[in-house]
Amino acid sequence: MSKFKNALKISNITSKTLNFLNFEATSFPGKIVQKYYPSFLKDCNNYIDHPRFAITGTNGKTTTSTVLTEILTKGGMQIINNKLGANMPNGIVTAISKSLYSRWQKTGGIEGAGVVLECDEAYFSRISNKFVFDYIIVTNLFRDQLDRYGEMDIAREKIIKGIELNPDIKIVLNADDPALCEIAQKLNYNRDKFIYFGITSVDYTGNYERNSKSPSESLHCPACNEQILYSKRYYAQLGDWFCRCGFKRQTPDVTARVIVQTDKNILDVRYKDKSYIFQTNLTGLYNAYNVLGAITGALISGVEPNSIESALNEYSPVFGRHQKVKLNNGGSLTIHLIKNPVGASEVLRGLKNLKNARMVVSVNDNYADGRDVSWLWDADFEALKDFQNVIYTTGTRSYDIALRLKHAGFNPSLLEVFDNTPKVSLSLENAILELNENENLVLLVTYTGLLEVNKNLPKLIKKYGA
């Protein structure tokens, strides 16, 4: 016990030191903790309560896990969440040890909190081989940056391996993603080990773009290898799918009819013969999936629908997932992380009819962004071809993204390339300074640029926030 508490102290001292030196403290304290106490994560099983959720998949992990955390907290539970998106083992140990330390300081004890942990799909098995989860939610599997993990098959195999290490885990899957059906097929568990969520219909109101231009994988049936067919297809490979051999989408346990509006989503959710209407200011169909995944996690944990409703009303998006800041010119800054073709295309789809805004598109090619930026050519930047205002490009690949926009048909005279700007936040500041009264700014940014912007956001808000 005392060694465990010492590990918490070490985490706290390391974080404080890093913060004092103005370094990121989202992963390194976890590394130090595990050096000092290699079985830390395993021994967390003795101190962490329930529910214990792991959230994985290509896109939507951060939004799903932060929304679920908000709902469970509203439902009266104490929840530890790695909300800054550090989702590899060191980041997870950092989040847990910091939270347990502050619980200990506040309450005198460390027990009593459950977890919602976002896990990188390639590292999930390295967490589940030590820590025992009650549930895993898998959001989707899209083609990510090929130079990091290889094909989605590899990600799927790693998720399956991680699930097998926790034999009592329940598996929550997006029924609309045929790329996930192989997880269920390969595990060959009873149907009652799985909980499926899915969308039954989508309507659009307002000027939200109805047609998705996300790149679509053509997937093959795991039973007979014929091409998967659809009676409804929403975006990428998500929809109501089937195969001629009879293999098809599982009937979801939790369903939603979704109305996508310009500024919100309305979900008419059905679970166990009851239906509930929920509203969220997270826009776009991709976010309807994220919210539905979180609602599913909450319903199976026994949270009351009114807690879900009020948590969704109060939720404010975090860390580049539609994160919004009011500016002192009367407009606002909205930040969207872009990291792969499907995710970027769905974000761009939501910006297609955007008026009264300028845009900054920042692409870096550091390791965590993916070295290969060829995915930009698979993302639907054509959605911006009729955009009538200035687009600034920045980041280490500012010229690549400018070229991509030009090729997409965007007016080159409205392009401004920030050359040799080491920091995205400096380009962002320059763009803010050029805004007219009430004009908005939208930032699309890859991962390392987002980290840098977030670090400097408090300063920017101090200077330009409303």
* Shortest Cβ 216–Zn ion spacing (Å): 18
Whole-number Å distance between alpha carbons of 361 and 445: 6
Quote the CA–CA distance of 32 and 322 in Å, as a whole number.
Answer: 33
Q: Which is nearer to Zn ion, 88 or 223 (CB)?
A: 223
Residue given tokens 């930047």 in the structure block? 381
Asked if residue 124 lies in contact with residue 158, where contact means CB atoms within 8 angstroms, the answer is yes
Our CB check for Zn ion shows the closer of 36 and 242 to be 242
| DSSP character at residue 465 | B
- 44 and 131 Cβ atoms separated by less than 8 Å: yes
Q: How many residues in total does the chain contain?
A: 466
**Do the beta carbons of residue 45 and residue 126 sit within 8 Å?**
no
From the CB of 197, what's the least distance to Zn ion, in Å?
23
Min. distance of Cβ 245 from Zn ion in angstroms? 3
Q: Which CB sits closer to Zn ion, 37 or 241? A: 241
Tell me the closest approach of the beta carbon of residue 227 to Zn ion, in angstroms.
Answer: 9
How many CA atoms are closer than 13 Å to the CA of 15, on its beta-carbon side?
Answer: 21
Rank residues 245 and 277 by Cβ distance to Zn ion and give the closer one. Answer: 245
Q: How far is the CB of 451 from Zn ion (least distance, A)?
A: 43
The nearer residue to Zn ion, 113 or 243, going by C-beta atoms, is 243
User: What do you get for the CA distance between the two ends of the chain, in Å?
Assistant: 48
How far is the C-alpha of 442 from the C-alpha of 361, rounded, in Å? 8
Between 226 and 304, name the residue whose CB sits nearer to Zn ion: 226
* Closest to Zn ion by CB, 178 or 370: 178
| Residue 260 neighbours by CB under 8 Å, 6+ apart | 202, 203, 204, 205, 208, 283, 284, 285, 288
Q: 149 or 247: whose CB is closer to Zn ion? A: 247
- Shortest gap between Cβ of 229 and Zn ion (angstroms)? 9
Nearest Cα neighbor of 27 from 38, 37, 18, 40 is: 18
Taking the C-alpha atoms of residue 159 and residue 121, their distance in angstroms, rounded to an integer, is 6
Question: How many helices (H) and strands (E) would you count in the chain?
Answer: 15, 17
CB of 342 to Zn ion, least distance (A): 24
Task: Write down the least CB distance from residue 224 to Zn ion, Å.
Answer: 3
Residue 445 CB, nearest distance to Zn ion (Å)?
A: 40
DSSP class of 389: S
Shortest distance (Å) from residue 239 CB to Zn ion:
16
263-301 per-residue burial string, b: 16 or more CB within 10 A, e: under 16:
eebbbebebeeeebebebbbbbbbbbbbbbbbbbbbbbb
Task: CB nearer to Zn ion: give 189 or 247.
Answer: 247
Q: 137 forms bridges with which residues in the sheet?
A: 55, 172
Residues 340 and 144: beta-carbon distance below 8 Å? yes
Assess contact for 141 and 180: CB atoms under 8 A: yes
Q: Write out the residues near Zn ion by the rule CB under 5 A.
A: 221, 223-224, 226, 243, 245, 247
Q: Which is nearer to Zn ion, 31 or 186 (CB)?
A: 186
